[in-house]
Structure 1
């Protein structure tokens, strides 16, 4: 047999430094731009919120959070968002029930204005959704459109990862959250590059986005609960019970999601679907009170300001109504994300545990409840741990959460997600 011909030598791979250095400037620009877009939409929504819920009812001489006003404003918000979804180019983006945390293909730039308007209207009008999904989708679309023209040879995945990381960093005010989300996604992709090589540019973008937000808006997730200095056996037991119980509570909405979504999709037009959804949210707001409206982050701070001020039944009602509001808002076509409402629900769940068993430390209850709810709703392990930990700003709780996440994860893993494919079937 003839000897094998010598194989041609493989071309040398570029050194990591030569690959990474050119990514710094685009990452910085995307990070700052993503933060500014988030802050701009949030500021516009806050101004409009003040008009709808303070200035206008004061002028009319009625209560801003009276049942009639809540029903009226949320129904009107449904009408306004329905008009945008109906008439805006691209119908304000894809069905929000199919959207995850930056894992979808870039939409056309012409869709972005309608998507942002619909998101801002929902935020101002009291819809129980956060800004994360539409802002991430808008930033991905703009970063991909601009980046592919500036550097046509760069892969599309680069612009998607930079925009996602930048927006998550801006949302949470720290690049750590983005690093955790991106690393979880990268763990599913085989390749020969080291993890930190892959994370380099997204971390630059996330750092730029987080720093821009911190310098301009000074955000904080700390809800000022009494800290846990030295956790004991009772705290460990509480976290091991509350986190799985909260995960089970969240799965109620997850399992109901495809059915509620299908019921709304049977309606013939967005001008029927969204106003009906707004009316339902208004009725839920009248039932649960104004704390069950809006994205939920400011409302979490309000209920946490006096952890002993409400009985178990009252806090449980807040959690149940907010869960129903999240389910309806996510199903009927409002543009928004599910993380911030889930934080409110988890915090209320934890405070309910504290009200039932006063020996449960409120910080342990809130952190464990948020952990379990986020695991059920998002199926993002790292971001659930991170968010639960930063809410209570108590490093001692982190060890408890790491342990409590294990039984909670056993409950949610393999279950349907609160995200659907284009046919309406839940993802797993």
Structure 2
């Protein structure tokens, strides 16, 4: 925090306060309420005097860098134009600056170097924090009495994470922007540009779109995410893919439904192993197909795979999110029953192996089974079939939901 010197009240203020209080007491001695009024006025004037002194705080000497070189402080209003000079579009709140911290040769050179950094507007989270940081380095406040106001080390450190792209693309930050550089100092209170409003906001370079959800951020571009529809494919290609899914999804839905109906109609004879395993397989793929086909119900596709800001849904489910619950619901429906269907396929393979082995050597196999048939053996193991086939996908589904690994993978950005 800043070492602020504030003496409250000042001698002049005390004399003024004494005069006001004396006059009020002489005019209102007969009223008991006048005492409260006098006390209120006294406290109000005392607070106002302290606030006025806080507007011009005195910082410790270590917050400044000496300007022993003649002409180190440069007037902000240069001959570049008749208009007042700005830093990244924001008005400079002082009259003199210094070019020494960034090693600029002139104001024109400092402005040109600042303009190079405007490319970071395409990284919104970085641009929001780096604007005051860059201005405090390239155009810091400078006075003949104190020297150059040194930038904050804390502000420098806050730019490292959202502006990681600068480090990645340039193999590190420039030396004069390293947070351990002697130019930066800690604990010096308000910065030069803390109360400056920067008019330029970050934007996302197409096809990226703005988003405040960290899970949707594109790697290295914090504040921007991929759109809901894969930008690598055209609208016609997306339409063809949807038609393909609709056609084959409908075929799968119809075939599995037909199979289920045949089992239900002749349930008395079909309710036996290994035929019953085929029923469970078709039931699983039928429900999985329902999940696939749910996207074609009105605007369901948008609610399932898209956020309200237009980005693809990733890292679902998110606690406290106001997004639709259809994404995790459809994931559970599709993922759980498709994995369960695969598990039942394994059970079917085991049942067929047991049955066909018995057919190949009936007498020897009967002896190994203690005189029982393969169907009777399967009946004794049905509990294990159900435990493996229903519990295994349940565990996997719970793990995926708990780790928030559900999302639209149509755009794989290589995470």
Q: TM-score, normalised to structure 1's length?
A: 0.21
Higher strand share: 2
Q: TM-score, normalised to structure 2's length?
A: 0.21
Q: Which has the larger radius of gyration?
A: 2
Higher helix share: 1
